[in-house]
Amino acid sequence: MIGDWSRSALGKVRALGAARSPRGRSAPVTYTLITLCCVLFLLSPAAGLNPAYGTGEELLAAQRAYFRRWGVIPAELFEGSPGSALTPATALFVHGSWVHLLGNMLFLYVFGAMTEERMGRLQFALFYLGCGYLALLGYAGANAHSQQSLVGASGAISAILGAFLFLFPRARVTSLLPFLLFLPLRFPAWLVLPFWAGLQWMAAGRAGDGPGVAYLAHLVGFGLGFAFAWVRFGRTTRVKSVPVAAPEGENQP
C-alpha cells in the first residue's frame, strides 16, 4: 500500500499562505526534511525522470522493487529481520508519485515550521521520526498479513497536525473547498483538524487491504502527535492565536 492523502474526502485544497512562526524564525529541520524527501524522490524510479530505469514495464518493475526495498511490508515486518525493522523509518522518505510528494511536502511546510519552533529543533526531529515510525508500525500491526508496500511521510505529518491542534488551537486555517465554490474561508484549527481526523476515521473503516490510502496510519500519527504535545506542553501556555494563513483539510500528507 502506498500511503497517499490525495484521494481523501475533503477534495482538493490550495494553500493561500505559508505558515510562519509567530516571530518569523526559520525552521531548519522542516526545510531539511522537505529537501531530503524531494531529492530522494527525484533520484528514485518513482519520479520517472531517470532514463537508467527504463520506460514502460521496465520502469514499473523498478518502481515496485524500489517500494518493496524501502517501504514497509507488514507481512515481513514482524519476522525479526533487522532490515525489515528499519523500513518504518526509511519509508518516511519514500513517496509513490508527484502528487503524493507535493501534497505531503505542502503540509509539512505549512504546519511543520510553527511546530518546530514551539518544540525546538532536536525535539521536533525526534518527534517527527518517532511518531512517523510508530504510525507505520501501527498500520502494519493491524494489517499483519498484507504484502503491499507502504511508503510516505503521511503518518509523521499527521502527528504534526495533532501536535499543531494542541499547541495552536485557535490558529486560523485558510482553504478553498470545492463544495463551497472554492471561496476562501478561515476556520480555527480546533474545528478543522478534528473534522479532518473524523474523516480519516470513517475512511479507515471502509478501507480494505490493498493499494490505496493508509488512513489508519494517519489516525495513529495524529493521536500520537496530540498526545505527545499534551504530555510535553500541557503545563505551559499554548499559543492561542497566530496571524498567519495556512491551508486546511487534507489533500495529502
Q: What domains lie within the chain, and their CATH numbers?
A: 28-205+213-233 (1.20.1540.10)
Going by pLDDT thresholds of 50, 70 and 90, the confidence category of residue 110 is confident
Task: Quote the pLDDT of residue 196.
Answer: 64
pLDDT tens-digit series, residues 17-57:
334 444 446 899 999 999 999 999 999 999 999 888 988 89
Residue 1's pLDDT band (boundaries 50, 70, 90)?
A: very low
**Per-residue pLDDT tens digits for 131-165:** 999 999 999 988 888 888 899 999 999 999 999 98
Amino acid at 161: L
pTM of the full structure: 0.79
Listed in sequence order, the residues at least 6 apart from 97 whose beta carbon sits closer than 8 Å to its beta carbon are: 2, 4, 6, 46
158 C-beta neighbours (distance < 10 Å), count: 34
Higher pLDDT, 184 or 10: 184
- Residue pair 139/216 in contact (Cβ under 8 Å)? The answer is yes
Helix (H, G, I), strand (E, B) or coil at 222: helix
List C-alpha distances in Å: 8 to 103, 107, 165, 200: 12, 14, 20, 8
pLDDT of 169: 87
Half-sphere exposure of 106 (CA within 13 A, CB side): 23
At 192 the pLDDT is: 66
HEC states along 70-124? HCECHHHHCCCCHHHHHHHHHHHHCCCCHHHHHHHHHHHHHHHHHHHHHHCHHHH
